Amino acid sequence: MSLPESEYMSPTWRDGLFNNRVVFVTGGAGTICSAQTRALVRLGADACIIGRNVEKTEKAAKDIATARAGARVIGIGGCDVRNFQSVADAVERCVKELGAIDFVIAGAAGNFVVPLSGMSPNAFKSVIDIDVLGTFNTVKATLPHLVTSAEKNPHAKAEGRTGGRILAVSATFHYTGMPLQAHVAAAKAGVDSLMTSVALEYGPRGVTSNVIAPGPIANTEGMARLSNAEAEIGSRVPGGRLGAVRDISDATVYLFSDAGSYVNGHVLVVDGASWRMGGANGPGVDSTMQYPNYLFTGEISKGLAGGKKSKSKL
């Protein structure tokens, strides 16, 4: 079902901001990335979203296209970011059908709650491969097109049009450390570092590379996997509430717009300052669970979507 505009984009941005621009998005059928894409499409962009699930990806593309009359949105399912050729083929199709790639969002990710003692090497590798290798493959396949876009859209153009922008969706777990999230913390640290290297090596060619690190975002697939106590988490955020997908979409529009043209190599944390509170009471922890007791008992929050239930054993 299509989202009301007020739920995925603030009224700050002007119509046509991204006219004649194309965005390529991995994980584009996910709750956060689909909202980011929807905002860009509403503001004039065409889009190509990719994902592993064919039906989900194609359905999301059709829904996103309703954000603006005449929008072209391609959904490419069966695409695995861990496989470079799979991503490269999707990039080729995007350019062939939509004409270019001006913006990229590397949003494909994997997550579940599990202690180190219960995590298999394959589980750890799976998250590293999706997040870090997947981001690298996305960068590698799209950068030639981003360089071309940057050359066509040098700062500052009179009409404020931009191009040659890439961002990755990360997290804040690795800033302080967080129990039950070692795999994700390691992966997102790698993503942040990779995007910094892109900024340093491709900034001289006009490309900007940044990261958005969301905090706890309400009503998302990620939140369902990490907690079943949204209200309690929201009460602990210094900003006074859980985030909304609109918060991430607005940050994306800013970084891709002319207003963000001098922001490069930056990690933009969008979390209401929640990471400043520390990580011991993060994903997989209910209000009745106290650190470090839950690590000794092996207790993990009940009812998590797609969670790994392996108990902790220190």
Cβ atoms of 214 and 32 closer than 8 Å: yes
Positions marked catalytic: 170, 188
- Please report which helix (H) or strand (E) contains residue 231, including its range: helix 230-236
The CA-based angle 253-255-258, given to 5 degrees, is: 90
Burial class (CB in 10 A: 0-12, 13-18, 19+), 193: exposed
* Extended beta strands in the chain, E state: 22-26, 46-50, 73-76, 103-106, 165-169, 208-214, 267-270
Sheet holding 208-214, edge to edge: 73-76, 46-50, 22-26, 103-106, 165-169, 208-214, 267-270
* Extended beta strands in 174-236, E state: 208-214
Phi, psi angles (nearest 5°) of residue 210: -135, 175
* Distance between first and last Cα of the chain: 45
Closest CA to 198 of 140, 251, 114: 140
Cβ atoms of 34 and 8 closer than 8 Å: no
Tokens 């106290």 -> residue? 290
* Extended beta strands in 70-215, E state: 73-76, 103-106, 165-169, 208-214
